[in-house]
Amino acid sequence: MDEGIADYFAGAKNNDPYIGEDVSVNRNLDNNFVWTSAESNHWNGQVIGGALWDVRQAVGSTIGDKLAFKALQISPRAYDFDAFRNNVLAADNIYYGGSHQCAIADAFNAHGIGGDCSTLPPPAPMNLHVTNPTQPGAFINLAWDAAPRATSYKVYRRCATASWCPNSYTLIGTTSSTSYTDMEVMTPGPGGINDGWFYYQVSATNSAGTSPRSNTASVEGWRGVERRGPGANTPVELQQVVPEAFALHAAYPNPFNPTTEIRFDLPEATQVRLTVYDALGREVERLLDGPMQAATHTVTFDAADLPSGVYLYRLEAGAFVQTRRMVLMK
C-alpha cells in the first residue's frame, strides 16, 4: 500500500499518471485495477494509487493532493486499503466539511475498496442560524442548509446560565425538514428580561449513520410558556410569564431517588440562595447563591451520595424566606 501511495505522489508531482516510484515496471495510476489476493502486494499497490488518482481527477489536483497527504497524518495510521479510504473521508470532513464524500467513496469503490456513496452517513449540516433573533417575544426558529443524503436531523441545545435546562448539549427534537422551532425558548420581550444565552447544534442522519455536529448558533432567550385555548390543539397565545408572587413549590418527585426537581417563582430580579439541609439542620448542599432574573426557575437536586432520610430545602430571595420538606428513599 505504501508503495502505491508513493507512486501517487510521484505522479501528482509531475501531473503524469505514468510516472511512478518504480518507473522501470511501467506502473500506471490511470487504471481500473481491483485488489485481488491472486496478485502480489507490489502489484496491488497500483490499486490504491489508482483510487487516489481517480479522486484527484474528480475533486481537482489541489484538493486531491491535500486529502491524500492529510490522510497519511490521521491517527491511527492506516494499514489496509479500507482504513486508508476511511482516513481520506475523515480528512475531507476535517478540511472541507465533507463536501467531497461521494467523489471519494465512488473512486475507491471503483477499485473494489469500500462501498459507494449510498453507503455513507451524511456530512454535517452547514450554515445553522437563528432566523428571528431580533423579533421580540417569538419562539426561537432555527434553519440550516440541507445535508446531502440526510433523511432526518437531530437538534441539540445547551443553556449557559438558565437553571431549567442543562449546560451541556441535549437532544431536544428531530425533524425531516431543514428548520426547527424551539417551543421552550423565546426571544426577549419588550422588557428585555432574559435567561441568558442558548446554544444550538444540528446533526444529520440516514440509515448509514449520523454526521458530526453542525456549527453552533447562539441567541439570547427566555423560557417561553405556551398557552392554549379550551380544547385547542395549536397555540392561540404565546407569551413570557413573570410570576405574580414569590413561591417555593413542592419538590417533584417526593419521595425521590436519587434526583428531584425544586421549582420556585421570582416576581422580580433579586439575590437568591437555595440550600438543602439534613434533618439535624446541617447544610448538605448550596444549590444556588447569586442574582437571578424574574421567572419560574427549576433546579435539580442530586442526592446520589446521600443516605435515605428527611431533608429540608430553604429558599431565600430578597426578604422572602420559605422552607419545605422532602424525603429521600433508597
Structural domain boundaries of the chain?
A: 2-119, 126-227, 247-328
Does 33 have pLDDT greater than 60? yes
pLDDT per residue as tens digits for the range 286-310: 999 888 878 778 888 989 989 999 9
CA pair distance 15, 64, nearest whole angstrom: 12
CA pair distance 71, 78, nearest whole angstrom: 9
What pLDDT, on the 0 to 100 scale, is given for residue 193? Answer: 63
pLDDT per residue as tens digits for the range 308-323: 999 999 999 999 999 9
pLDDT category at 99 given cuts 50, 70, 90 is confident
Q: Do the domains at 126-227 and 247-328 have one common CATH topology?
A: yes
* Angle formed at CA 87 by CA 213 and CA 57, multiple of 5 degrees: 105
What is 247-328's CATH number?
A: 2.60.40.1930
Looking at every residue in the chain, the average pLDDT score rounds to 85
DSSP assigned state of 231 = T
Least confident of 185-194, 235-244, 246-255, 301-310: 235-244
CATH class, 2-119 region: mainly alpha
Residue 232's Cβ-side half-sphere holds a number of Cα atoms within 13 Å equal to 9
What is 126-227's CATH number?
A: 2.60.40.10
Does 228 have pLDDT greater than 80? no
Mean pLDDT value of segment 21-49: 78
Q: Which three cell numbers stand for residue 265?
A: 417563582
Does 151 have pLDDT greater than 80? yes
> pTM value?
0.57
